[in-house]
């Protein structure tokens, strides 16, 4: 482990061929403001991301790899030419400010609703499932509904899912992103395969740890092959409950994945910690085990403050910290952290859906 008592959030970080100007990362944040029809990234989104370009790296909101991968109204996709063109405007606006941006590749699996495609959501297995998602209500506004019991993916459908990730990674590269981050966290499709409870399969994608990890690692390999390991990241949430899924073997699975991911020399492993969502604080021992399993760069998120990030950086346990809600409310978050300036408070009522209010109208600091 590399202890460095002088390391700060405001020093550069080299990830493969790319150097981040600082270690304050904007976490992936679903905001449900894409254009309909077509789930197309728009000019308002470009302005929102551009405002936050002082981050060392921006990670995009979850972006569906296929129509089937969509789980919430007005989330953007990265599977049509129109969507790629929309993202190209966004990556261009961010690059013009000298910043970097990753695309988060997303398939929600069972966290979805038949109103999006006219078909049942898919998952590892067709088990009972209690969770809610957000669809367009009769009056057009966001409405919370129960997710139906999903349909189990057939074995012969799995190559198509891997292919959708591969196409999405190529699209991300073509749209001008700097990295592709695979979303294998928060109880969405890949974690539905990883977790013992949600995966009851008896084929080679279910059963033991290696079988349950097979889809995630096939996706990782496909995305690496489509682009380059140095341009690929993956987000996991091994501990805690998200979207009605808590893996009793999550700690073990997290370490297994960290080792497999580390072996592939990806740009970074992104750890989503559970305490911001009602879960436990990640313990120091587990951090050390993750670090030992994954010697490459680790970005971590979840209830971070500058102080917590700095102490974990200096202990050699993380390499950068991602901030979610603080970045929603503070477009100039790196400066505010660096100068210990007060933070704007985020307004939860405008997190999901709507227009510029609570999206592009949070002010930067002015004395």
Would you please indicate which residues are annotated as catalytic (active-site) residues? 188
β-partners of residue 143 are: 135
- The span of 88-96, 109-117, 183-191, 290-298 binding ligand FNR (CB under 6 A) equals 183-191
- 302 lies in the binding site for ligand FNR (CB under 6 A): yes
**Rounded-to-integer distance, Cα 355 and Cα 204, Å:** 45
Q: Could you give the 3-state DSSP secondary structure of residue 271?
A: strand
Question: Is 183 a binder of ligand FNR (CB under 6 A)?
Answer: yes
User: Residue 178 interacts with ligand FNR (CB under 6 A)?
Assistant: no
Stretch that binds ligand FNR, among 22-30, 49-57, 159-167, 305-313 (CB under 6 A): 22-30
Q: If binding is defined by CB under 6 A, does position 240 make contact with ligand FNR?
A: no
Nearest-angstrom CA–CA distance, 84 and 90: 10
Closest distance of CB 281 from ligand FNR, Å: 12
> How far apart are the C-alpha atoms of 27 and 328, rounded to whole Å?
10
Cβ neighbours for 255, distance < 8 A, ≥ 6 positions apart: 238, 289, 290, 293
Of the two residues 149 and 277, which places its CB atom closer to ligand FNR in the complex? 277
Task: Please state the three-class secondary structure of 131-183 as a single string.
Answer: CEEEEECCCCCEEEEECCCCEECCHHHHHHHHHHHHHHHHHHHHCCCCEEEEE
Measure CA 254 to chain center: 16
- Hey, which bits of the chain come out as E strands? 13-15, 18-20, 24-26, 57-64, 101-106, 122-123, 132-136, 142-146, 151-152, 179-184, 232-236, 268-272, 298-301, 320-323
Binder to ligand FNR among 104, 134, 216, 243 (CB under 6 A)?
104
Site pattern 117..146 for ligand FNR (x: CB under 6 A): ------------------------------
Q: Please, how many CA atoms are within 13 Å of residue 256, restricted to the half-sphere of its CB?
A: 17
> Is 192 a binder of ligand FNR (CB under 6 A)?
no
Size of the site for ligand FNR (CB under 6 A): 22
Per the structure block, which two tokens stand in for 208? 């033991």
- Any contact of residue 301 with ligand FNR (CB under 6 A)? yes
Spatial contact of 223 and 233, defined as CB atoms under 8 Å apart: no
Phi, psi for 77 (deg, rounded to 5): -110, 175
359 binds ligand FNR (CB under 6 A): no
User: Tokens for 25?
Assistant: 């990362």
Contact residues for 232 (Cβ-Cβ < 8 A; gap 6+): 169, 179, 180, 181, 182, 220, 223, 224, 264, 266, 267
State the DSSP code for 276: G
Near ligand FNR by CB under 6 A: residue from 22, 30, 91, 171? 30
When asked if residue 185 is in the footprint of ligand FNR (CB under 6 A), the reply is: yes
Task: Assess 235 for contact with ligand FNR (CB under 6 A).
Answer: yes
Residue nearest ligand FNR by beta-carbon distance:
324
* Among 13, 25, 28, 51, contact with ligand FNR (rule: CB under 6 A): 28
Give the nearer residue to ligand FNR in terms of CB position, either 201 or 219. 219
Site string for ligand FNR, 244-283 (x = CB under 6 A): ----------------------------x---x-------
Nearer Cβ to ligand FNR (162/329): 329
Binding positions for ligand FNR, 67-86, rule CB under 6 A: none
Site for ligand FNR in 318-337 (CB under 6 A): 323-326
28, two tokens: 């992936």
**Which residue's CB is nearer to ligand FNR, number 136 or number 325?**
325
The site for ligand FNR (CB under 6 A) is made up of 27-30, 61-62, 104, 183, 185-186, 235, 272, 276, 301-304, 323-326, 351
């Amino acid at each position: 482990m590399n202890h460095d008592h002088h390391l700060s959030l405001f020093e550069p970080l080299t990830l493969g061929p790319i150097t981040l100007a600082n270690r304050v990362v904007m976490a992936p944040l679903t905001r449900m403001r894409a254009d309909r029809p077509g789930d197309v990234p728009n000019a308002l989104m470009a302005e929102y991301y551009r405002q936050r370009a002082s981050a060392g790296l921006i990670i995009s909101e979850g972006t569906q790899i296929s129509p089937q991968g969509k789980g919430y109204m007005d989330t953007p996709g990265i599977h049509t030419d129109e969507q790629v063109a929309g993202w190209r405007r966004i990556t261009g606006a961010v690059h013009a400010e000298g910043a970097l941006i990753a695309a988060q590749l997303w398939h929600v699996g069972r966290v979805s609703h038949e109103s999006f495609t006219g078909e049942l959501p898919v998952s590892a297995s067709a088990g009972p499932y209690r969770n809610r998602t957000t669809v367009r209500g009769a009056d057009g506004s966001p409405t919370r509904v129960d997710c139906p019991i999903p349909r189990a993916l057939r074995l012969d459908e799995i190559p198509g899912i891997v292919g959708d990730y591969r196409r999405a990674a190529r699209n991300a590269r073509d749209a001008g992103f700097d990295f592709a981050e695979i979303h294998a966290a928060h109880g969405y499709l890949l974690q539905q395969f990883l977790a013992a409870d949600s995966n009851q399969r008896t084929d080679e994608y279910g059963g033991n740890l290696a079988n349950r990890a097979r889809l995630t690692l096939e996706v990782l390999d496909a995305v690496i092959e489509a682009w380059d390991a140095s341009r690929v990241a993956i987000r996991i949430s091994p501990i805690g409950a998200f979207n009605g899924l808590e893996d009793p073997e999550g700690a073990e699975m997290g370490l297994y994945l960290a080792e497999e991911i580390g072996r592939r020399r990806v740009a970074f492993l992104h750890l989503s910690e559970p305490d911001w969502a009602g879960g436990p604080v990640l313990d120091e021992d587990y951090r050390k085990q993750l670090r030992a399993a994954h010697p490459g760069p680790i970005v971590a998120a979840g209830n971070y403050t500058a102080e917590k990030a700095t102490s974990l950086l200096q202990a050699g346990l993380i390499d950068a910290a991602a901030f979610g809600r603080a970045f929603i409310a503070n477009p100039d978050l790196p400066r505010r952290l660096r100068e210990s300036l007060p933070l704007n408070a985020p307004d939860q009522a405008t997190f999901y859906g709507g227009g510029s209010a609570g999206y592009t109208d949070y002010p930067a600091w002015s004395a």
